[in-house]
Structure 1
Amino acid sequence: MSLTEVAEKIPERRWWALGAVCLGLFMALLDVTIVNVALPAISSDLQTNFSGLEWIVNAYTLVFAVVLVPASRLGDIFGRKTLFMLGIAVFTIGSLLCGLSGGIAMLNMSRGIQGLGASAMMPLSLAIISATFSGKQRGIAIGVWGGVSGLATGIGPVIGGLLVKHIGWQSIFYLNIPVGIVAISLSLWAIKQSKDESAARNIDLFGFIAFTVFMFCLIYGLIQVNQEGNDWTSPHVWQLLGLSLLALVVFIAGELRIKHPMVDPRLFRIPSFTGSAIAAFCLSAGMYALLFNLTIYLQGFLGLDAMESGVRLIAFTAMALLFGPLAGALMGKIGSKRLIVASMVLLTIGVYSMTHLSHHNAPSEWVVLLPGFIIAGIGSGLINPPISNLAVEAVPVQRVGMASGMNSVARQMGSAFGIALFGAILSSRYNSLVTDRVQSLQDNQLTGSAREQVIQAIESAGPMAGSNGLAGIEYEAIFHNDPLLDTYRQIARASFVDGTIDIIRIASVILAVGTVLCLVLIRKNSSIPS
C-alpha cells in the first residue's frame, strides 16, 4: 500500500478536503459580488459603454449556466476530484487573463473562462462533500459549506471596494491566483477520487448546443436594445429573440426524446420542483441582478467610490449572512413552502421600498435604500436554503443530482436575464425621458435643429454617463461650452434616476409574480424532518 493510499484512510484528512472544497467555492462565489463594485472603475479605465459592463457580469453567468449540468455529469463519469481541480485551474487562468485585460473584449472573454471553471467548482464541491462525509459529519460539512457561501457573498463588496480603491480593479482578479494555487495543492493532497460507476457515459451534446443557443440569443438580443440604432422595435433584436424562442422549443422537444438528457423537462411536471425553480429564477432576476444597477446609482449618481459603495451594500449582504443559518431550523418547523413564500414577500417589499430614490446626488442620500437593503437581505438569507432543499426533495432519488443542477441553472439564468432586461429597459426609458425633457425646453432656449443634436448627444452618452451628469471634459467639448450644459446634465441625471426607479418597480413585479406562483405550485408537505 502506497503512502498516498495510507493517507487517504486517515479520517482527519477529510476535513482538509472540506477546506479545499470551500476554497474553490469561495473563489467562485466571491467573483459574483466582488465585480459589481469595480464596474465603474473598469468602465472608466477601458472606456466601455453600459452594454459592455453588462457583458462583464453576463459572460460569467451565461457560461456558468450553460456548462454547469454537463460539468457535473463529467465529474460523475471521469472523477469528481479531477474535474474539480480542473475547474479551479481554469478559473485561476481566467482570473489572470481578466487582470491582464487591456480591453473590454478580452475582459469579457476572460470572464467567460472564469465561468467555465466555476461551472465545475460549484456543483462538484457539494458532490465531493457527499462522497467524503456520512451521517452527522455530512450535515456539519454541508453547514460549513453553506456558511462559506454566505461569507463569500457577504464580504465580496467590501473586499472589492478595498482592492479597487487602494490597488486597482485588476487586483480583484489577481486575488484568485494565490487562492487557486493553494486550493489545487490542497485538493491534490486531501480529496479522495470518487465517481458514479452507474452513470451513463454519454454526454448530451444536442441539449448542450440547443440550450447554449437559447441562452445566448436571449441575452444578446436584450443587450442589443442598449446599442445605438436599436430599440425594442428593431428587426435585429426581434430576430435574436425569435431565434432564442425557437432554440428553446427545439431544446425541450429534443430532451423529451433523448434517453439520457442533460435536463429532463418532465421534472417540471412536479409542481413543487417547478416552484423551487421559479423561486430561484425570480430571486436572481428580481434581486441579485438589480445589484448591478444599484451599484451604478451609488457610484455614478451619488459619487461614492468603490469602497464606500461596498460598505453600504453590507446592509444587504450582512442580513443575508446572519439570517441564512436560521433557515434550516425554520424549515423543520414551518416547512419549505411557508418559508419560501414568506421570504419572497420580504424580498418584494424590500425591493419595492427602493423606488423612493432621491433626485439629489448628495452621498448621504443612499440611506433611502437602507430599509430595502435590510428587508431584502433578510428575505435573501432565509430563502436560499429552502429553495435548494425543495429542489432535491421534490424529485425521485435518481434525479436528485439533475434537480440540484437545474436549480442552480435557474439561478444563473435569472441573473443573466435580469441584468440584460433591466439594462434594455433602463436604456429605453433613459432615451425616452431625455427626449421628452429636451423637447420641453422653450424655443428661446434651444432651436429645433440644435434640439435634435442635443438629444442625440445625450442619448449617445448613455445611462452610465447620464448617472454622473455627463461629467468629463469630453462632454464639455461636445457641447462647446453651451450655456445650457448644466441643464443638460440635470436632464441626464434625472432621466437616469427615473429610469432606475422604473426597473426597480419591474424587479418588484418579478418577485411578486414569483411569490404567487410559489404559493400556488409548492405543496405544503415540502419540509425536512424535524
Structure 2
Amino acid sequence: MNNSKLKLTIFVFGIFICMLDTTVMNVALPEISVAFSTPLNNLSWALNIYTILFAALTIPLTRVAEKFGMNKVIMLGFIGFGIGSLISGLSNGIAILVFGRAVQSIGAALIFPLSMILGIRLVETDKRTGVIALLGVTQGLAAALGPVIGGILTQYLSWRWIFFVNLPIVTLILIIGWRILNFSEKNNDIHNFDILGSSLSVLFLLSLTTVLTQGRSWGWTSTISLIVMLSAAVFLVAFLFVELKADQPMIPLQLFKNRNFMGASVVIILSNLFLVAVTVILPTYYTNVKNFDALHASFMLIPITLFIFITSPISGFALNKVGPKILISFGFGLMLIGYIGYTYNGLDKQLYSCVYGALVGSGYGLITGPITVIAASDFTGELLSSSQSVTGVLRQFGIVLAVALFVTGLYSNLSDAQVKSERYVSSTVSKLSIPEEIKLHLIDKSNEGIKSQGAAKIPKKHTGNRTIDHQINVALRNIKNTAQNNVRHAFKLLYQKAVPFLIMTIILALLFWQNKFKNDA
C-alpha cells in the first residue's frame, strides 16, 4: 500500500471514530446509570458535552492547525482523543466521565475537519470526487453504526469498552502517522490569528448547542434558557460584525455567497437531523416499549447502516451523470416513505421496522455522498479548509437539533399519553362493581405502573373473591393494553409530525437544485 492510500486510511478511520462517538454512548446509558448508581437524567452532560464542544471548537481549532501545520495538529488530536477515551473508560463517577468526554471532543474537533481537508488534498481537484464521497460515506455510516456497536460492546463486554475500543485504533494511527506524515509543513500566509472572531464563534456555538441539548430539562421558557438563547443571538451578531471587518477572518463569509455550498449546508443539517431522529429514538422505543435488551435494540438499526453503506458510494459517483436534483430529492423521498411507514405499522412488527429502516438508510446514503462532494467542489486552499470546518459544525448542529426537537417532542407526546392512560384508568375502574377502597388501590397502582413503564408493571390483583378478581384482572389487562398503545402512538406521532417537513424539504430540493451538477468556481 503506497503512502497516499495509507494516509487516506488514517483520515477515514479518524472521521469514523469521531462520528462513532456522537451516538455510541446512547444505548449504554442504562448500564452506566446502574454502574454509577445515578438516575439517567444525571448523565445528560456526559452525553451532550461531546457534541457541544465538538461543534464549538471545530472552526477555531482548524485555523490553529492551518497556522502551525495540519499534520502535526491532527496527531495531537488523535493523542487527545485517545487520552479522553481512556479517561472515560476508566471513570468511576459522572464528573470524571464528563471530563473524559470533554477531552475526547477537543481531539475530535481537530481530527474531523483536518481528516476531511487532508484527505481531499491527497488527490488533484478533477479527481477528488471519489475521495470526498468516501469521506462523506464514512461520516453517516459511523453515526448510524454507533448504537449497533454500542449495543454489542455493552452486551458482551462492558459499557467501558465503548471508549476502550478507540484505543487500538488510535495507537495504530499514531504509529503509522508518525512514519508517513510530513511534520515540517507550515502555513506562512496566516499572520494574524483572529482571536476575537474565534472567541465569539466558540461562545455562539457553545450557547446555541447548550440550550438545544439542555433546553428540555431546563424548560424552554425558563429564565436560564432564555438568557442562553439571547446570549447566542448577541454572540452571533457580534461575530458577523467582526468577521466583516477582519483582514483574515475566522470564516471567510464569501463561502456563503456560493450557491452550491449554501444548498449543501442546508441539506447537511436536514439529512443528519432526519437520520439521527431515527437512530436515537428507535433504540429507546425498543428497550422501553418492546422490552428488548440493548443488543437486540441495536440490531434493529442494522438495515439503516447496511443501506447507507450500499447506496452512498453509488450516489457519489452518479452525481455528474444524474445531477443533484434527482439524487437529493429522491433520497429525501425514500426517507419520507420510511417515516410514513413508522407512522403506521413500522413500529408494530420487526420486519416492517427493518424495511422502513432500509429506506431511511438508502435515502440518507443517496444524499450524503453527493452533498459532501458538492460542499467541497468549488474550493481549494484556505476556502477548502474553511468549508470543511463549517460543514463539520453543520453536521454536529443537525445531530444536536435532532436530539433537541425529537426528544422534546417525544417527552411531550409521552406526557400526553400518560394523561390519556390515567383518564382511562379512572373511567374503567369507576365502572367496576367492587368496594371503593379496592378501586382507589387499583387506580394508585395502575397510575404508578403507567408513570414507570407505560403500565408494564401493573400487577394482577387477588382478593379471594373470584367474581371481583375476574373483573379486576380483565380491567387491568385492558388498562395495560391501552396504556401501551398510547405510548406506542406517542412514538408514531413523532414521525407523523415530521412528514410535512420532509415533504417541504423535497419540494425545496426540486426547486433549488439543477438537473446537472455544475461547479460555481
User: With structure 2 as the length reference, what TM-score do the two structures score?
Assistant: 0.83
Moved more, 175-184 or 435-444: 435-444
- Give secondary structure in 2 for the equivalent of 1:17: helix
**Does residue 1:182 correspond to 2:172, yes or no?**
yes
C-alpha distance in structure 2 between counterparts of 1:488 and 1:236, whole Å? 39
436 and 137 in structure 1: CA distance in 2 versus 1, 3 angstrom threshold: closer
User: Which of 252, 276, 291 in structure 1 is aligned with 2:264?
Assistant: 276
Moved more, 315-324 or 384-393: 384-393
C-alpha distance in structure 1 between counterparts of 2:335 and 2:147, whole Å? 20
- Give secondary structure in 2 for the equivalent of 1:441: helix
**Does residue 1:466 correspond to 2:453, yes or no?**
yes
Quote how far apart the aligned CAs of 1:139 are.
6.3
Question: Unaligned regions of 5+ residues in structure 2, if any?
Answer: 431-435, 460-471
Corresponding residue number in structure 2 for 1:331: 319
**Does residue 1:118 correspond to 2:108, yes or no?**
yes
Corresponding residue number in structure 2 for 1:166: 156
Question: Unaligned regions of 5+ residues in structure 1, if any?
Answer: 1-10, 473-481
1:344-383 aligned within 5 A = 344-356=332-344, 365-383=349-367
Equivalent residues of 1:50, 1:226 under 8 A apart: no
% identical aligned pairs: 26
**Does residue 1:408 correspond to 2:408, yes or no?**
no
Number of corresponding residues: 500
Letter in 2 for 1:410: L
1:189-268 aligned within 5 A = 189-193=179-183, 195=185, 197-227=187-217, 231-268=219-256
Give per-residue Cα distances to partners, 1:55-92, cap 9 Å, x unaligned. Answer: 44432222221212222222221111111111111111
- Give secondary structure in 1 for the equivalent of 2:249: coil
C-alpha distance in structure 2 between counterparts of 1:70 and 1:263, whole Å? 9
Give per-residue Cα distances to partners, 1:276-322, cap 9 Å, x unaligned. Answer: 11110011112224311111112222122222223221101100001
C-alpha distance in structure 2 between counterparts of 1:467 and 1:452, whole Å? 14
C-alpha distance in structure 2 between counterparts of 1:273 and 1:49, whole Å? 43
Corresponding residue number in structure 2 for 1:108: 98
User: Which of 314, 317, 321 in structure 1 is aligned with 2:302?
Assistant: 314
**Does residue 1:518 correspond to 2:502, yes or no?**
no
C-alpha distance in structure 2 between counterparts of 1:280 and 1:208, whole Å? 23
C-alpha distance in structure 2 between counterparts of 1:67 and 1:471, whole Å? 48
C-alpha distance in structure 2 between counterparts of 1:45 and 1:521, whole Å? 50
**Does residue 1:418 correspond to 2:409, yes or no?**
no
Give per-residue Cα distances to partners, 1:156-212, cap 9 Å, x unaligned. Answer: 444333211111111111111122111111111111236463542433333333333
1:2-41 aligned within 5 A = 12-41=2-31
Letter in 2 for 1:502: L
- Give secondary structure in 1 for the equivalent of 2:372: helix
Letter in 2 for 1:207: G
C-alpha distance in structure 2 between counterparts of 1:485 and 1:118, whole Å? 51
- Give secondary structure in 1 for the equivalent of 2:425: coil
**Does residue 1:85 correspond to 2:72, yes or no?**
no
C-alpha distance in structure 1 between counterparts of 2:476 and 2:102, whole Å? 40
Quote how far apart the aligned CAs of 1:50 are.
5.5
User: With structure 1 as the length reference, what TM-score do the two structures score?
Assistant: 0.82
Give the superposed CA RMSD: 3.7
Equivalent residues of 1:271, 1:522 under 8 A apart: no
- Give secondary structure in 2 for the equivalent of 1:442: helix
